[in-house]
Each structure stands twice: as C-alpha cells, then as structure tokens.
Amino acid sequence: MKWLNFISHPTEKLQGEIIVPGDKSISHRSIIFGSIANGTSTITGFLDGEDCLATIKAFRSMGVAIEGPDKQTVVIHGVGKHGLKKPDQIIDCGNSGTSMRLLAGLLAAQNFDSELTGDESLLKRPMSRIAKPLTQMGASIGTDEGKPPILIKGGKQLVGIDYQMPEASAQVKSCVLLAGLYAKNHTSITETGVSRDHTERMLRTFAHPIAKSGTKIIVNAQSECKATDIQIPGDISSAAFFIVAASIIPGAQVLIRNVGINPTRIGILHILKRMGASIAIINERQFGEEPVADLQINYAPLTGIQIPEELVPLAIDEFPVLFVAAACAQGETTLHGAKELRVKESDRIGAMAEGLQILGIQNQVFEDGISITGGSLQGGEVNSRGDHRIAMAFAIAGAAASGPVTIKNCVNVATSFPTFVNTANALHLHVKDVIENER
C-alpha cells in the first residue's frame, strides 16, 4: 500500500493571484437538481474532485446521461422528478457525507430500493439525524446502529412534516427538503440557527417554488424543476487556506478571484477580521442566485479572540485552518459550540490539537471546542487522519513554521481540492507531495 504525504517548507514570500476550484456544496447540488429537472442543464466551474464525482456516478447509475466533467464543464440531461431508475449497483459515496445525506432524502421518495455506502471514514459518520425525519415522513430507512450503510426500501408515499431542526445542519435540511419535493402535502423546516442555504437558492435557480417565513422554509410536490445553466463560484472553503496563509506570513499580498461570498458561508471572513486580518471584498457580483467577489488579503498581525458561537455554523468547514491562524496570533483564541467538528471526516478538534501540540503550540481541548495559545510554529511530522481539510491546514502551518512540516496520509485532498499543491506553489509556497510505501 502506498501513502500520499505532503512536505511543506517555510516561505518568506507569498504573493500573487489565484482562482480556486468551484464550490463543492454547489457542485453537488447542481448535479442533483440538474438530474431531476426537465431538460438539459450546463454547469460551468464544476469541482471535479472525488466527492462530486461520486455524486455524478450515483446519478449515472440511476439512468441519467451526464457528459463531463470536461474542463470543469458538465452537461446533464435531466430525467424529471419521476424519471430516476433503480441503480444498477450499490451507490458508493466514497468519502462524501454530502452525497450520502442528500441522496438519502431523494432516494427515500423513489419507487425502488437502494443502498448507500462509502469508504472507511464515511462508514463511521452519524446518519441518525437524517434517518429520524425521513422515518417521520414515512420512509423506510435502515442503518447500522445509526451509521452507514443506509438501506432504503422504495415505494413509500412520503407525507410532509413540520420539522424543527434540533441543530443547524445544511445537510439534514437539504435531505428533508429533497424528500419534501415528493411528499404529500407541504413540508416545512424551522431552523434553530443559520446554516448554508445553497439548496434553497438552487431550488429557485431550477424554478421550483420555495417559500420562506422567518426561520421556516416550505416546499411541496406540486412543481417540477426546469433545466438551466449554472456558473459555480470558487469555493470559499478552498480559498480559506490561502486567506489564512496571507494573513500570517509577513509581507504577503494575495488576490483570490471569483470566490462565493454567500452570507451563510463567510464566517471565516468575520472571524479573521475580528482577529485583525486585512481582507478586502471587491468586485461584488452575482453568479445566478449566488453572490461572488474577489478577495484581496494583505498580511496583518492577528490577535486571539473568543469566537462568537453564532459564527460557528458559518465557518464549520474552515476551522482547521482557522486554528492555524490562532496558532500564529498573539494571545489566546477560544472556540465553543463546535461539537459537530468531532464527527466530520475525522475528529477535527482532536486531530488539530494533536498536530499543533507536535508543532509547539499549546492548546486545551473541550468537548465542543478548543483554546489555542498563539506562539511560534515549529517543524515536525503530523498525521492528517485521512482528512483533506486537516492535511491542507497543516500544509499552511508549514509555510509559517520555523522548519518543514511533514503531513501524513493526504490522499483525500483530492476529494475537494485536487489542484491544491499546484495552487499553493503558484503563490510561492513550497509544498511537495511525496509517495511513500507503507512500512
């Protein structure tokens, strides 16, 4: 067996202009809605990472003709809401929790049986929080004690429910909304906190009615989705690594073009600005329903803060690299209210705490967060635990450290940012990928 590792060397120069790959959340949803729409949709700026390719493969197995991705362009020949066919195999979602949770909502309403599985990491992730509302709607959902694989018995007439979200989760919300597109009567979801709203925007993009009243979102099964063309903005979760790098490396000047600035996704900008970062949002515009801008980041000294809990859902995927920013800030940065980080592709709190400790940064771990005391990053060897965001976060740490940082087990970076190393080096970072035989 071979491992892919990164070696990240210190850099004294960080400047340039980049474009990051398309938004992963929006790329997933463009495939889902394009597949159940009537007509042909063309998607440009599509993220051709392994997670989104898993979603394409799933719909191809259900009879949807999908061309590409070719130069980040995908053409989907939609089959309509009731045109999906029984998959010709078990659907393998790979490492993609988004694929699994959103597909579960869609498949629960179909007239055929299906099964969703994934890789070793995904098989450890919780699925009870989607199984519960789907069961309330009349779906037949089986799990392995709340974990994948998910077995879905088709042919059930779903009934709309009024679902009170127990916690903010875009994946759970999206799962219920997709099931609601097929359910008898209306389905409503009341949010207890803000979560990313790409599904709601995508419904509008595909001309499907959706109502919102305060914190309540309402859909019904009366309408079809209409095919359309979509341009996908750059993923702010991918941009985050270089936003932080430019904020912590003296003299840095970086421009990142075409970044999605959906208000439910820009917690990282709010948090870094509170820490003293110099981030300018320029050239604001729209890619369809999604707001987009260019980001100009210049180095500025950071100061530790107490991260407001209301910003946690708006930055949930960016915390690994935000912890690197905290490691380089003066004083203490404290996070609470982020228990969800424990059940991502890895225990991200535990993985980052362990790695930062190895690199000389003191921290204290809580069940729902962490406190990090800023200091001087040292070189060393850390383990990403197979988590793409942990791997890339420590690659950024290596750029600001006093010596090289070796990051083990980085193959899953391909799930969200397959061009990460090339993009990093285009900005004068010094990141190498190294194939190692297992010892």
Catalytic site residues?
317
Q: Looking at 79-181, list the stretches that DSSP marks H as alpha helix, in order from N- to C-terminal side.
A: 97-107, 128-136, 170-180
How far apart, in whole angstroms, are the C-alpha atoms of residue 239 and residue 96? Answer: 20
CB count in 10 Å sphere of residue 162: 12
Measured distance CA(152)–CA(91) in Å, rounded: 11
Distance CA 376, CA 220 (A): 54
Q: Which residues of 360-398 are buried (b: 16+ CB within 10 A; e: fewer)?
A: ebebebeebbbbbbbbebebbebbbbbbbbbbbbbbbbb
Bridge-based pairing of strands 37-44 and 225-226 is parallel
What are the phi and psi torsion angles at 14 (to 5°)?
-140, 105
Report yes or no: 394 and 8 within 8 Å, Cβ to Cβ: yes
Q: Are residues 398 and 9 in contact, defined by beta-carbon separation less than 8 angstroms?
A: yes
Strand partners, 376: none
Beta carbons of 131 and 145 less than 8 angstroms apart: no
- Angle between helix axes 236-248 and 267-274 (nearest 10 degrees) is 10
Question: What secondary structure letter does DSSP report for 159?
Answer: B
Strands 332-335 and 369-373: antiparallel
